[in-house]
Structure 1
Amino acid sequence: MLQPLTDTDGAPFWRYAAQGELRVQACAGCGEVRFPPRPCCPRCASFDDVWRRVDGHGRIWSYVVPHPPLLPDYAEQAPYNVVVVELADAPRVRLVGNVVAEAGARLDSVPPGRLRIGARVHVVFSPDGLPQWVLERP
């Protein structure tokens, strides 16, 4: 499986995820939430940031089911979903991931026909700290 590629700005996101926490970067000066993480606030140009914990609830904003899988490492789990989730308590933040039946489940554990734009989801974490999403109403 693919592992996240971390950089200095995004490393805290993955550290928190490995601890089972979903956090997003925010400006320590004006409070502007920024994702993906970056060194400077686009609103006030401050270089000071904080990592704000979010509750991990959201809605499917968009999704796709790759046929055939785009990456060979995922071929045995096709068809699988790739979703964009808009966070409920940070609506300008959208995260890419997969809807699964439970934390750590295979990517094909939820039939594509069960996904809908606007469906409510909440975050869970795979054993290796990857954020995944579970439907709130299975």
Structure 2
Amino acid sequence: MRSDALAGLIAPVVDADAAIFWAGVAEGRLLVPSCRDCGRRFLPPLPCCPACRSEAIEPIEACGRGRLYSWVIMRRALDPAYAEAVPYVVAAVELEEGARIFARLIDVDPEDPAALVAEMPLALRFVEIDGQRMWAFAPATSSEPAKSPR
């Protein structure tokens, strides 16, 4: 991975629906909205469940494990904030809790075709970018423990 693969960040917009999510990120916790009525877990945070439209939503802490669902290698910066980082990998990660999240994939060589394999196990990491804590994922090691929920 290039040392500057996490360079640049466009500041997130934190609205009322996402405030708890971003507070968790600031604490190094990935909080996933979970519907108390149907059990659906989803991201991004929404005011109601996308499956049953219930407003009975509570956050659960993700264990930190997931699998690579899909990815794209960014070879051209779509915004000047990311010009130093290309090429880098943006991944759709299926969390063990069932929700999917987009994230930077770190500790992989985006130029190595063998480095990215569908369903490969990934582990959650929190990184600092321009003073903002953000989530990313990296290939999991077989000895890597799950993050303990609080």
> Which of 72, 87, 99 in structure 1 is aligned with 2:80?
72
Change (3 A) 1:37 1:117: same
* Aligned pairs (5 A) from 1:12-23: 12-23=20-31
- 1:86 matched to 2:97: no
Unaligned runs of 5+ in 1: 102-109
C-alpha separation between the residues in 1 aligned to 2:49 and 2:84? 41
Unaligned runs of 5+ in 2: 1-8, 143-150
> Which of 102, 116, 120 in structure 2 is aligned with 1:96?
102
* Aligned pairs (5 A) from 1:24-35: 24-35=32-43
- Larger mean CA deviation between 30-39 and 72-81 belongs to 30-39
- Larger mean CA deviation between 22-31 and 3-12 belongs to 22-31
Structure with greater strand percent:
2
**Deviation of the 1:43 alpha carbon:** 4.0
Aligned to 1:104: none
Aligned to 1:115: 116
Change (3 A) 1:45 1:78: closer
**Deviation of the 1:35 alpha carbon:** 2.1
**Deviation of the 1:42 alpha carbon:** 3.8
* Aligned pairs (5 A) from 1:123-138: 123-127=124-128, 128-137=132-141
Change (3 A) 1:80 1:48: same
Q: Give the residue type in structure 2 aligned to 1:111.
A: D
Give the RMSD, CA atoms, in angstroms: 1.8
The percent of aligned pairs where both chains have the same amino acid is 33
Query: Helix, strand or coil for the counterpart of 1:98?
Result: strand
C-alpha separation between the residues in 1 aligned to 2:94 and 2:39? 19
C-alpha separation between the residues in 2 aligned to 1:33 and 1:3? 25
Q: Give the residue type in structure 1 aligned to 2:71.
A: Y
Query: Helix, strand or coil for the counterpart of 1:77?
Result: coil
Q: Is the 8 A contact 1:28 1:49 kept in 2?
A: yes
Q: Is the 8 A contact 2:34 2:57 kept in 1?
A: yes
Higher relative contact order (CA 8 A, sep 6+): 2
C-alpha separation between the residues in 1 aligned to 2:87 and 2:51? 40
